[in-house]
Amino acid sequence: MVSVAEMSEITSPTVVNQTAPMPNPANPKVERGMIEIEQLDFAYGTNKVLHDINLSIPARAVTAFIGPSGCGKTTLLRCLNRMNDLIDSARITQGSIRIEGVDINASSVDVVDLRRRVGMVFQKSNPFPKSIYDNVAYGLRIAGTTKRTLIDEAVEKSLRSAALWDEVKDRLHVSGYGLSGGQQQRLCIARALAVEPEIVLMDEPCSALDPIATAKVEELIRQLKEQYTIVIVTHNMQQAGRCSDHTAFFYLGRLIEFDDTTKIFSNPGQRQTEEYITGRFG
Protein backbone atom coordinates (compact mmCIF):
# COMPACT_ATOMS: atom_id res chain seq x y z
CA MET A 1 0.00 0.00 0.00
CA VAL A 2 1.22 3.47 -0.86
CA SER A 3 1.97 5.42 2.30
CA VAL A 4 0.69 8.90 3.05
CA ALA A 5 4.29 10.12 3.04
CA GLU A 6 4.87 8.74 -0.43
CA MET A 7 1.79 10.51 -1.73
CA SER A 8 2.90 13.93 -0.48
CA GLU A 9 3.72 16.43 -3.19
CA ILE A 10 7.29 17.16 -4.17
CA THR A 11 8.60 20.36 -5.71
CA SER A 12 8.60 20.12 -9.48
CA PRO A 13 7.18 21.70 -12.60
CA THR A 14 3.46 22.30 -12.90
CA VAL A 15 1.56 19.16 -13.88
CA VAL A 16 -0.33 19.09 -17.14
CA ASN A 17 -3.61 17.24 -16.67
CA GLN A 18 -3.72 14.50 -19.26
CA THR A 19 -7.39 14.14 -20.11
CA ALA A 20 -7.45 13.13 -23.77
CA PRO A 21 -9.07 9.73 -24.39
CA MET A 22 -6.83 6.87 -25.36
CA PRO A 23 -5.46 5.76 -27.74
CA ASN A 24 -2.91 8.51 -27.47
CA PRO A 25 -3.29 10.82 -30.46
CA ALA A 26 0.49 11.32 -30.36
CA ASN A 27 0.87 7.62 -31.06
CA PRO A 28 -1.76 6.48 -33.60
CA LYS A 29 -0.06 3.08 -33.93
CA VAL A 30 -1.42 2.07 -30.52
CA GLU A 31 -4.99 1.03 -31.23
CA ARG A 32 -7.52 -0.63 -28.95
CA GLY A 33 -5.51 -2.48 -26.34
CA MET A 34 -5.93 -5.68 -24.41
CA ILE A 35 -6.33 -3.54 -21.29
CA GLU A 36 -8.45 -0.39 -21.57
CA ILE A 37 -8.44 2.06 -18.65
CA GLU A 38 -10.99 4.87 -18.98
CA GLN A 39 -11.39 7.97 -16.80
CA LEU A 40 -10.13 6.09 -13.75
CA ASP A 41 -10.07 7.73 -10.32
CA PHE A 42 -8.89 5.80 -7.29
CA ALA A 43 -8.73 6.66 -3.59
CA TYR A 44 -7.53 5.33 -0.27
CA GLY A 45 -10.31 6.58 2.00
CA THR A 46 -10.60 10.29 1.30
CA ASN A 47 -7.12 10.49 -0.26
CA LYS A 48 -7.50 10.47 -4.04
CA VAL A 49 -4.35 9.03 -5.58
CA LEU A 50 -5.25 8.44 -9.24
CA HIS A 51 -6.89 11.14 -11.34
CA ASP A 52 -8.67 10.58 -14.67
CA ILE A 53 -6.38 7.88 -16.03
CA ASN A 54 -6.99 6.99 -19.70
CA LEU A 55 -4.65 4.32 -21.03
CA SER A 56 -4.73 1.60 -23.68
CA ILE A 57 -2.23 -1.22 -23.04
CA PRO A 58 -1.50 -3.36 -26.13
CA ALA A 59 -1.33 -7.13 -26.14
CA ARG A 60 1.91 -9.11 -26.33
CA ALA A 61 4.17 -6.19 -25.59
CA VAL A 62 5.93 -4.75 -22.54
CA THR A 63 4.44 -1.56 -21.12
CA ALA A 64 6.49 0.24 -18.45
CA PHE A 65 5.05 2.55 -15.79
CA ILE A 66 7.62 5.15 -14.70
CA GLY A 67 7.53 8.17 -12.41
CA PRO A 68 8.61 9.35 -8.94
CA SER A 69 7.75 7.42 -5.77
CA GLY A 70 4.16 8.04 -4.74
CA CYS A 71 2.93 8.92 -8.22
CA GLY A 72 0.44 6.02 -8.36
CA LYS A 73 2.30 3.47 -10.52
CA THR A 74 1.93 0.52 -8.19
CA THR A 75 -1.61 1.49 -7.20
CA LEU A 76 -2.63 1.39 -10.86
CA LEU A 77 -0.78 -1.89 -11.42
CA ARG A 78 -2.66 -3.46 -8.49
CA CYS A 79 -5.94 -2.25 -9.96
CA LEU A 80 -5.38 -4.48 -12.98
CA ASN A 81 -5.95 -7.69 -11.01
CA ARG A 82 -7.95 -6.17 -8.14
CA MET A 83 -5.21 -6.65 -5.57
CA ASN A 84 -6.36 -3.37 -4.05
CA ASP A 85 -9.55 -5.16 -2.99
CA LEU A 86 -7.47 -6.52 -0.11
CA ILE A 87 -6.90 -3.02 1.31
CA ASP A 88 -9.56 -1.48 3.53
CA SER A 89 -11.01 1.78 2.19
CA ALA A 90 -9.25 1.40 -1.18
CA ARG A 91 -11.70 1.91 -4.01
CA ILE A 92 -12.25 3.06 -7.58
CA THR A 93 -14.37 6.21 -7.36
CA GLN A 94 -14.89 6.68 -11.10
CA GLY A 95 -14.10 5.05 -14.41
CA SER A 96 -13.49 1.50 -15.57
CA ILE A 97 -10.85 -1.09 -16.43
CA ARG A 98 -11.63 -3.55 -19.20
CA ILE A 99 -9.64 -6.59 -20.20
CA GLU A 100 -10.61 -7.87 -23.64
CA GLY A 101 -13.77 -5.79 -23.35
CA VAL A 102 -14.89 -7.10 -19.96
CA ASP A 103 -15.19 -4.72 -16.99
CA ILE A 104 -13.05 -6.44 -14.36
CA ASN A 105 -14.87 -4.70 -11.50
CA ALA A 106 -18.31 -5.95 -12.52
CA SER A 107 -20.11 -8.01 -9.89
CA SER A 108 -20.22 -10.98 -12.26
CA VAL A 109 -16.41 -11.22 -12.50
CA ASP A 110 -14.80 -14.10 -10.59
CA VAL A 111 -11.84 -12.44 -8.84
CA VAL A 112 -10.00 -15.76 -8.40
CA ASP A 113 -10.22 -16.41 -12.14
CA LEU A 114 -9.18 -12.82 -12.85
CA ARG A 115 -6.02 -13.28 -10.79
CA ARG A 116 -5.28 -16.49 -12.66
CA ARG A 117 -5.55 -14.63 -15.96
CA VAL A 118 -3.59 -11.66 -14.62
CA GLY A 119 -0.56 -12.98 -12.74
CA MET A 120 1.67 -10.83 -10.56
CA VAL A 121 5.35 -10.79 -9.60
CA PHE A 122 6.18 -8.62 -6.63
CA GLN A 123 9.09 -6.32 -5.83
CA LYS A 124 10.62 -8.75 -3.36
CA SER A 125 10.80 -12.41 -4.32
CA ASN A 126 8.34 -14.34 -2.17
CA PRO A 127 8.73 -18.09 -2.69
CA PHE A 128 6.54 -20.24 -0.50
CA PRO A 129 8.19 -22.37 2.23
CA LYS A 130 7.99 -25.37 -0.07
CA SER A 131 10.13 -27.19 -2.58
CA ILE A 132 10.90 -25.66 -5.96
CA TYR A 133 8.49 -28.15 -7.53
CA ASP A 134 5.69 -27.41 -5.07
CA ASN A 135 6.13 -23.65 -5.49
CA VAL A 136 5.42 -23.92 -9.20
CA ALA A 137 2.69 -26.54 -8.79
CA TYR A 138 0.85 -24.60 -6.08
CA GLY A 139 -1.51 -22.65 -8.32
CA LEU A 140 -2.34 -25.70 -10.40
CA ARG A 141 -3.33 -27.69 -7.33
CA ILE A 142 -5.42 -24.82 -6.01
CA ALA A 143 -7.19 -24.77 -9.37
CA GLY A 144 -8.02 -28.46 -8.98
CA THR A 145 -5.36 -30.15 -11.13
CA THR A 146 -4.46 -33.48 -9.51
CA LYS A 147 -3.00 -35.60 -12.30
CA ARG A 148 0.71 -35.92 -11.60
CA THR A 149 1.76 -36.12 -15.26
CA LEU A 150 -0.04 -32.84 -16.03
CA ILE A 151 1.56 -31.13 -13.05
CA ASP A 152 5.00 -32.49 -13.99
CA GLU A 153 4.63 -31.14 -17.53
CA ALA A 154 3.43 -27.75 -16.32
CA VAL A 155 6.25 -27.43 -13.79
CA GLU A 156 8.91 -28.17 -16.39
CA LYS A 157 7.29 -25.90 -18.98
CA SER A 158 7.02 -23.02 -16.51
CA LEU A 159 10.58 -23.37 -15.26
CA ARG A 160 11.83 -23.47 -18.84
CA SER A 161 9.79 -20.36 -19.65
CA ALA A 162 11.37 -18.64 -16.64
CA ALA A 163 14.86 -19.67 -17.83
CA LEU A 164 15.38 -21.65 -14.63
CA TRP A 165 14.94 -25.30 -15.60
CA ASP A 166 18.58 -26.06 -16.40
CA GLU A 167 19.66 -24.59 -13.06
CA VAL A 168 17.21 -26.51 -10.86
CA LYS A 169 16.11 -29.66 -12.73
CA ASP A 170 18.27 -31.87 -10.50
CA ARG A 171 16.99 -30.38 -7.22
CA LEU A 172 13.30 -29.82 -7.73
CA HIS A 173 12.49 -31.11 -4.25
CA VAL A 174 14.89 -28.76 -2.49
CA SER A 175 13.39 -25.74 -0.73
CA GLY A 176 12.91 -22.66 -2.87
CA TYR A 177 14.64 -20.72 -0.10
CA GLY A 178 17.90 -22.41 -1.13
CA LEU A 179 18.01 -20.48 -4.39
CA SER A 180 19.82 -17.20 -4.94
CA GLY A 181 17.84 -13.97 -4.99
CA GLY A 182 17.71 -13.84 -8.76
CA GLN A 183 16.72 -17.49 -8.98
CA GLN A 184 13.98 -16.95 -6.39
CA GLN A 185 12.55 -14.12 -8.48
CA ARG A 186 12.56 -16.31 -11.58
CA LEU A 187 10.91 -19.06 -9.50
CA CYS A 188 8.14 -16.60 -8.64
CA ILE A 189 7.80 -15.80 -12.35
CA ALA A 190 7.56 -19.54 -13.10
CA ARG A 191 4.88 -19.88 -10.41
CA ALA A 192 2.88 -17.09 -12.05
CA LEU A 193 3.26 -18.66 -15.51
CA ALA A 194 2.20 -22.15 -14.39
CA VAL A 195 -1.50 -21.28 -14.38
CA GLU A 196 -1.20 -19.92 -17.94
CA PRO A 197 -2.10 -16.26 -17.46
CA GLU A 198 -2.71 -13.89 -20.34
CA ILE A 199 -1.18 -10.89 -18.57
CA VAL A 200 1.81 -10.69 -16.21
CA LEU A 201 2.21 -7.70 -13.88
CA MET A 202 5.66 -6.99 -12.45
CA ASP A 203 6.19 -4.52 -9.62
CA GLU A 204 9.88 -3.50 -9.52
CA PRO A 205 10.93 -7.12 -10.18
CA CYS A 206 14.66 -6.34 -10.22
CA SER A 207 14.95 -3.77 -7.44
CA ALA A 208 16.55 -6.22 -4.99
CA LEU A 209 18.75 -8.02 -7.52
CA ASP A 210 22.39 -7.64 -8.48
CA PRO A 211 23.31 -6.60 -12.04
CA ILE A 212 23.84 -10.15 -13.30
CA ALA A 213 20.49 -11.38 -11.95
CA THR A 214 18.83 -8.23 -13.25
CA ALA A 215 20.18 -8.89 -16.75
CA LYS A 216 18.73 -12.42 -16.68
CA VAL A 217 15.29 -11.20 -15.60
CA GLU A 218 15.33 -8.45 -18.24
CA GLU A 219 16.22 -10.96 -20.95
CA LEU A 220 13.40 -13.18 -19.66
CA ILE A 221 10.93 -10.28 -19.90
CA ARG A 222 11.92 -9.68 -23.52
CA GLN A 223 11.32 -13.35 -24.32
CA LEU A 224 8.01 -13.60 -22.46
CA LYS A 225 6.37 -10.76 -24.39
CA GLU A 226 6.05 -13.11 -27.36
CA GLN A 227 3.38 -14.99 -25.38
CA TYR A 228 2.16 -12.59 -22.70
CA THR A 229 1.05 -9.02 -22.20
CA ILE A 230 3.48 -7.60 -19.64
CA VAL A 231 3.13 -4.46 -17.51
CA ILE A 232 6.14 -3.50 -15.42
CA VAL A 233 6.62 -0.80 -12.79
CA THR A 234 10.20 0.42 -12.56
CA HIS A 235 12.21 3.33 -11.19
CA ASN A 236 15.14 2.32 -13.40
CA MET A 237 15.07 4.47 -16.55
CA GLN A 238 17.67 2.29 -18.27
CA GLN A 239 15.61 -0.80 -17.53
CA ALA A 240 12.47 0.77 -18.98
CA GLY A 241 14.45 1.72 -22.07
CA ARG A 242 15.90 -1.77 -22.47
CA CYS A 243 12.81 -3.86 -21.76
CA SER A 244 9.66 -2.00 -22.76
CA ASP A 245 7.91 -1.30 -26.02
CA HIS A 246 5.67 1.41 -24.57
CA THR A 247 6.16 3.71 -21.58
CA ALA A 248 3.67 5.62 -19.44
CA PHE A 249 4.97 8.47 -17.29
CA PHE A 250 2.99 9.34 -14.15
CA TYR A 251 3.27 12.27 -11.79
CA LEU A 252 1.15 12.98 -8.69
CA GLY A 253 -1.44 10.40 -9.69
CA ARG A 254 -1.87 11.66 -13.24
CA LEU A 255 -0.80 10.14 -16.53
CA ILE A 256 1.39 12.80 -18.12
CA GLU A 257 2.43 10.98 -21.28
CA PHE A 258 2.16 7.58 -22.96
CA ASP A 259 3.92 6.58 -26.16
CA ASP A 260 6.44 4.21 -27.74
CA THR A 261 9.44 3.88 -25.45
CA THR A 262 11.84 5.12 -28.11
CA LYS A 263 9.74 8.27 -28.52
CA ILE A 264 9.41 8.85 -24.76
CA PHE A 265 13.16 8.61 -24.22
CA SER A 266 14.35 10.40 -27.36
CA ASN A 267 11.71 13.04 -27.98
CA PRO A 268 9.08 13.26 -25.20
CA GLY A 269 6.06 15.41 -25.89
CA GLN A 270 5.75 16.87 -22.39
CA ARG A 271 8.26 18.98 -20.48
CA GLN A 272 7.64 17.06 -17.25
CA THR A 273 8.54 13.79 -18.97
CA GLU A 274 11.80 15.18 -20.29
CA GLU A 275 12.79 16.66 -16.93
CA TYR A 276 12.11 13.39 -15.11
CA ILE A 277 13.97 11.23 -17.63
CA THR A 278 16.97 13.57 -17.62
CA GLY A 279 17.09 13.58 -13.82
CA ARG A 280 16.10 17.19 -13.23
CA PHE A 281 13.49 16.08 -10.70
CA GLY A 282 12.13 12.88 -9.15
pLDDT tens-digit map of 56-81: 999 999 999 999 999 999 999 999 99
Mean pLDDT across the stretch 47-58?
97
Query: Under a CB-based contact definition with an 8 Å cutoff, are residues 121 and 192 in contact?
Result: yes
Give the alpha-carbon dihedral of 18, 101, 82, 233, to 10 degrees.
Answer: -50
What is the predicted pLDDT for the residue at 180?
A: 95
d(C-alpha 8, C-alpha 70), whole Å: 7
Neighbouring CB atoms inside 10 A of 89's CB total: 9
What is the predicted pLDDT for the residue at 200?
A: 97
pLDDT tens-digit map of 142-198: 989 999 999 999 999 999 999 999 999 999 999 999 999 999 999 999 999 999 999
Query: Under a CB-based contact definition with an 8 Å cutoff, are residues 77 and 230 in contact?
Result: no
H helices of the chain, in order, are: 4-7, 73-79, 111-117, 132-142, 148-161, 165-168, 181-194, 211-224, 237-243, 261-266, 271-277
State the DSSP string of 169-189: TT-TTSBGGGS-HHHHHHHHH
d(C-alpha 230, C-alpha 243), whole Å: 10
What is the predicted pLDDT for the residue at 208?
A: 85
What is the predicted pLDDT for the residue at 28?
A: 41
φ, ψ at 246 (rounded to 5°): -135, 150
CA 81 to chain centre: 10
CA 52 to chain centre: 20
d(C-alpha 210, C-alpha 196), whole Å: 28
- Name the nearest CA neighbour of 2 among 128, 123, 94: 123
H helices of 147-248, in order, are: 148-161, 165-168, 181-194, 211-224, 237-243
